[in-house]
Amino acid sequence: MKDVLSRLGISSINASWFTGNQEGKCDEKQTQRPIHSPIDGKQIAAVQMASVEDYQQVVAKSSEASAFWRTVPAPKRGEIVRQIGQALRLHKEDLAHLVTLEMGKLYQEALGEVQEMIDICDFAVGLSRQLHGLTMYSERPNHRMYEQWHPLGVVGIISAFNFPVAVWSWNAMIATVCGNACLWKPSEKTPLTAIACQRIVQKVIQENNLPEGLFTLVIGDRSIGKVLAGDARINLVSATGSTNMGREVAQIVGQRLGKCLLELGGNNAIIITPSADLDLAVRAVVFGAVGTAGQRCTSTRRLIVHKEIYQEVRQRLVKVYGQLTIGSPFDEGTHVGPVIDKQSVENFYTMLKSALSDGAELIAGGEEAVVEGLEGGNFIKPTIVEATNSFVSNTINRECFAPMLYLLPYEGEVEQAIAIQNDVPQGLSSAIFTKDLLESERFLSAMGSDCGIANVNIGTSGAEIGGAFGGEKDTGGGRESGSDAWKSYMRRQTNTINYSAELPLAQGIKFDV
């Protein structure tokens, strides 16, 4: 562990907040937060939490850097992001190791998360030459009308613990090629990975003689997040987390008529129809439900199965769940690692108790797991709760950030399954397994899934960076990563140029003086 932290520029038990490339000095008056690994409960390091005064220093540097950065041509901004991607490649294994150590996800998944950072850098480099506007015909003679896009200024990024580095990069690399400075407030549960990324990025910034405020980092609690959300110098607040957190951020940002991009909770469902390939479907369900210990925003929470195949799917799942290996996420044979902390374990028990009191039936898991040698870890046995279509409660409408899956039957046409799927407040990811072309098209139609992501014959997890990521309803409506999500980080300007000697007005209005 010490070798990994050292290679990433972090001193064990002495990590601090950063403004630009300056490490914050320890102050006994400020709060220091111990960081424990969810794998065994042991302390990895302690980080000094930033004060409001520290935040003010950080945002001032970001504002200064943004004034310069917007004048740099976009392809040259892309070159800096290309160098960042290359630096991340050199540290891929160490970063993945730290993600696993601090957050608890399987090492293979952590490698995939760091690869997402590398991939989004590649995507952003190409994007830096494609920040295009449109040209429209003017109704007035000898006029040209077009639109162009300009940087916003400073983008504030509030990230969650479950993807401690990837989601930051989705925002930061796109925002950077768009001409913005980025201020990052990571989850206080996973600050070490943020510090490591900041070290890597700042080295690139220094080597190119760029302002240190181009990428800044502030480690703080919710109070710092509120200050950031209410700061008019933050031109866009991109926040990833729970729906409750998103509502709070939206209210604060809305009061100052600011812009926010929200990627919030999910309550994702997979529908399995009678024609489905069950081997394929069950594999997707298991990964979606237990991958990252159920802590992905795209994790599969609900499984909606036609009654014709319900018992077979139920039996297959119970059998597979009984074979899952729970243990250290560094071990290749492990299927399920820990959840982030003891509070997550308690939340799991609370939701399970609520579901059972409403008449649901526990058919797999339902208890904490103790792993030999890792007794201090936060391990939960993957759980399946069986419900009926009449099962109505606040429990199933809430997102459970743990490996708990609700199993629900449906009968009749696929529209009934789609109605069950859509009957929750969230609208992030969805999937259907079917070989029936008509069913798949109905699922993808305007009357089908109401989610931002709708998949056919693949699960709810594992979105690629090329597509816009995000969802509707309580998921927040924001879009990050690919497609035209870059427009969120820029402001649109419509321009009209008159190259005649006349002054005709639009809509044929006459105004003679």
Which residues are designated catalytic? 263, 297
- Round to whole Å and give the CA distance between 334 and 498: 67
Do the beta carbons of residue 289 and residue 401 sit within 8 Å?
no
Cα within 13 Å of Cα(259), Cβ side: 17
- Round to whole Å and give the CA distance between 291 and 105: 8
**Long-range contacts (CB closer than 8 Å, 24 or more residues apart) made by 64-69:** 64/211, 64/213, 65/181, 65/210, 65/211, 65/212, 65/213, 65/214, 66/151, 66/153, 66/154, 66/179, 66/180, 66/181, 66/213, 68/211, 69/151, 69/176, 69/179, 69/180, 69/181, 69/210, 69/211, 69/214
- Round to whole Å and give the CA distance between 282 and 319: 11
Task: Tell me which residue has tokens 């952590």.
Answer: 110
Residues 6+ positions from 93 with CB-CB distance below 8 Å: 111
Pair of tokens at residue 511? 């105004």
β-bridge mates for residue 431, sequence order: 270, 455
Element (H, E) at 408: strand 404-410
Pair of tokens at residue 403? 């490996």
Beta strands at 379-380 and 368-369: parallel, antiparallel or unpaired = antiparallel
- Closest by CA position to 164, among listed 292, 44, 17, 18: 292
